[in-house]
Structure 1
């Protein structure tokens, strides 16, 4: 389907009669999805759905009418049919012509949206983070524990080319032997603007280490292959939003942090965050008993022609070492999050069709948030957070 879209976008074929089209024949999508939440990430999900091609976007629902109308206008300029705007969440979820729901609303709304969405029985792709608090995640877990449709968490970073390559070497080929320590880094520009600026406030986003960094904690958890037992973090709001105020409130999200995680199996992990750097840079280093991996992704706005991805695995006398530049075809890699969102969608559709692919599960979504919440708590309390105690407190809050 992607090749079909590529041919249509890059070659002129209008002179051909319908019966003369094979490569240029426009395939019909098998599924229809609705997008709940028409903001920046909602638009990315729309673009990727249409690019992947086996599903099409039927309609959107958003509480903010201007966002919904802007999305409709942009969609209809790009694609060849009308996008339906729903008047309510219920209408969008229960439309009998639709097969799946992609939930992209602000973090703090996910639980309430899910209460309605699960009643539809439709396949669901829920954007990260699942929720902003552990009690809310546990509530979502309860909602979908016997769910028959596909339920997938939007932790698409694991599908970026640099991490896909690393996970293959670590988990499948076992090239590093036993993993011993993991180091992750994100240096980037500040949070971008959102409707009502909800991402500038911890009460709406869960805090930076939940909202943004759950991606990295998910990667750390997967590579560690174990559950976290303790988290210690240091961080602050050092540079960004010093003069920012919205409806009388000042921002309280951290823009720098160091996070240390210890796991049941003895693996050590650390994460380094800076959100006032003039770039988008992320890196993962994994050291094992038989070697080391370093991989990174870099967009620094400079006019240089160097590759923006890098992967290296050094195994010494234990096996083959290599240095490479992981990438996807440009049409995929440029579609969002270096192609991670595309493969998130591809595997979502594969799973709907019964062709099982490994994607972020409910439990993995939970643990990515547990580490993020623990890190936020550690910064507030200047203390090491015991994960078992944190979970017990959260379960008591639910009860």
Structure 2
């Protein structure tokens, strides 16, 4: 049985150790990293990956690359402030960043539409790769990346990390392992949130660069649907619109064209049914999943509403009637992990990435799973435009 890994950096999130000399530190001793990673794309998400890498402790960030000088300078300043005394390299070309012999892994956080181009260079290095979601913006690019990953010798992981959020991790355990509610019949997921935040060059306001809202953001939820359904999507129908956000937004002469609300229905090959409700002009961050099975129902939610009222930010309930025990709880991680990014999901994404590098196999999002999350998003975007039900097999004939 393998030992559980606990980074010494974890303890420093709760206790002060400045009064100790280095020779007196054991629990507080700085973790000695086994690996060095480079960050490709030094924006907001790149900084999150830097912080989580350093917190997890088995790897260190060696360098960064970004074509935007402002992003590079901002991330260098962040790194120096938060990790004083550590060196951070910067590279002048993507090739240099990917092929540095000192580096073991690459974390790709560039804008969605650049992923294929970056990956075509990254795979030449043979290094372990983690690429942010969505792995591509079109079915054609996603299919090429999927094929690329099939023959890749290193770890090739997609950043669909919502499966590691506490509520979804517990839900997956209850439904797929414990089978608490019996055979799953229906899956319903909701996301209500504030509009897309600002990005460099505002690329996330344009479908051409983001893949569209239902690919860019909602691939997370379609990945979850696929996991719970344990099947592939057969038909997709969606309605949606650009009702509130960015209706008058222009950037360099172009008008935004992304939907800000939608209802998506998915029928799976095994007959299971799923629905997704999106609203991106709500004054909070709220996610909810409700799954009904032959022997019960599971409901879980995560909420951040910016109010001063003290209440749990997560909730999970399992109701099994006379079929079994009921459960009500508030799934969460330790605060230092929960607050490190995406409510702890990014931390575990990194933890399992390194476990896989070390040969301690963990279930992480594959390129195949990344592909199918994009399939539903693309089908939903098409359905909104045409008003028709999209047959997935027919759509995939184009690829």
TM-score if structure 2 supplies the norm length? 0.97
In the alignment, the residues of structure 1 paired with residue 192 and residue 17 of structure 2 have an alpha-carbon distance, to the nearest angstrom, of 44
Does 2:155 match 1:150? yes
Residue of structure 1 aligned with 2:386, choices 381, 385, 392: 381
How far residue 2 of structure 1 moved from its aligned partner, in angstroms, is 5.5
Does 2:215 match 1:210? yes
Does 2:98 match 1:98? no
In the alignment, the residues of structure 2 paired with residue 383 and residue 221 of structure 1 have an alpha-carbon distance, to the nearest angstrom, of 22
How far residue 292 of structure 1 moved from its aligned partner, in angstroms, is 0.3
CA RMSD of aligned residues (A): 1.0
In the alignment, the residues of structure 2 paired with residue 16 and residue 270 of structure 1 have an alpha-carbon distance, to the nearest angstrom, of 54
C-alpha change, 1:248 and 1:148, in structure 2 (3 Å) is same
Asked if the contact 2:7–2:58 (Cα under 8 Å) also holds between the matched residues in 1, the reply is no
In the alignment, the residues of structure 1 paired with residue 15 and residue 224 of structure 2 have an alpha-carbon distance, to the nearest angstrom, of 39
In the alignment, the residues of structure 2 paired with residue 173 and residue 379 of structure 1 have an alpha-carbon distance, to the nearest angstrom, of 37
Does 2:53 match 1:49? yes
Asked if the contact 1:33–1:56 (Cα under 8 Å) also holds between the matched residues in 2, the reply is yes
SS in 2 for 1:360: coil
How far residue 10 of structure 1 moved from its aligned partner, in angstroms, is 4.3
In the alignment, the residues of structure 1 paired with residue 104 and residue 198 of structure 2 have an alpha-carbon distance, to the nearest angstrom, of 31
In the alignment, the residues of structure 2 paired with residue 382 and residue 18 of structure 1 have an alpha-carbon distance, to the nearest angstrom, of 65
Aligned residue in 1 for 2:241: 236
In the alignment, the residues of structure 2 paired with residue 153 and residue 177 of structure 1 have an alpha-carbon distance, to the nearest angstrom, of 30
How far residue 269 of structure 1 moved from its aligned partner, in angstroms, is 0.4
* Unmatched runs of 5 consecutive residues or more in structure 1: none
Asked if the contact 1:59–1:86 (Cα under 8 Å) also holds between the matched residues in 2, the reply is yes
SS in 2 for 1:25: coil
In the alignment, the residues of structure 2 paired with residue 104 and residue 154 of structure 1 have an alpha-carbon distance, to the nearest angstrom, of 9
Residue of structure 2 aligned with 1:277, choices 264, 277, 282: 282
Cα-to-partner distance string for 1:125-144 (whole Å, 9 max, x where unaligned): 01000100110011112222
TM-score if structure 1 supplies the norm length? 0.97
How far residue 9 of structure 1 moved from its aligned partner, in angstroms, is 4.5
Cα-to-partner distance string for 1:144-164 (whole Å, 9 max, x where unaligned): 221110010000000000000
Task: State the aligned residue count.
Answer: 394
Residue of structure 2 aligned with 1:391, choices 365, 373, 396: 396
How far residue 3 of structure 1 moved from its aligned partner, in angstroms, is 5.2
Aligned residue in 2 for 1:27: 31
Does 2:133 match 1:160? no
SS in 1 for 2:157: strand
Aligned residue in 1 for 2:177: 172
In the alignment, the residues of structure 2 paired with residue 43 and residue 221 of structure 1 have an alpha-carbon distance, to the nearest angstrom, of 29
In the alignment, the residues of structure 1 paired with residue 87 and residue 104 of structure 2 have an alpha-carbon distance, to the nearest angstrom, of 18
In the alignment, the residues of structure 2 paired with residue 109 and residue 16 of structure 1 have an alpha-carbon distance, to the nearest angstrom, of 46
SS in 1 for 2:150: coil
Asked if the contact 2:7–2:57 (Cα under 8 Å) also holds between the matched residues in 1, the reply is no
In the alignment, the residues of structure 2 paired with residue 225 and residue 314 of structure 1 have an alpha-carbon distance, to the nearest angstrom, of 22
Asked if the contact 1:155–1:215 (Cα under 8 Å) also holds between the matched residues in 2, the reply is yes
**Further displaced range: 15-24 or 217-226:** 15-24
**Further displaced range: 251-260 or 71-80:** 71-80
Asked if the contact 1:2–1:51 (Cα under 8 Å) also holds between the matched residues in 2, the reply is no
What pairs with 1:60-209 in structure 2 (closer than 5 Å)? 60-79=64-83, 80-209=85-214
In the alignment, the residues of structure 1 paired with residue 278 and residue 16 of structure 2 have an alpha-carbon distance, to the nearest angstrom, of 46
SS in 2 for 1:374: helix
Does 2:14 match 1:16? no
In the alignment, the residues of structure 2 paired with residue 297 and residue 32 of structure 1 have an alpha-carbon distance, to the nearest angstrom, of 33
SS in 1 for 2:397: helix
SS in 2 for 1:376: helix
How far residue 6 of structure 1 moved from its aligned partner, in angstroms, is 3.7
In the alignment, the residues of structure 2 paired with residue 383 and residue 12 of structure 1 have an alpha-carbon distance, to the nearest angstrom, of 59
Asked if the contact 2:7–2:55 (Cα under 8 Å) also holds between the matched residues in 1, the reply is no
* Unmatched runs of 5 consecutive residues or more in structure 2: none
How far residue 24 of structure 1 moved from its aligned partner, in angstroms, is 1.8
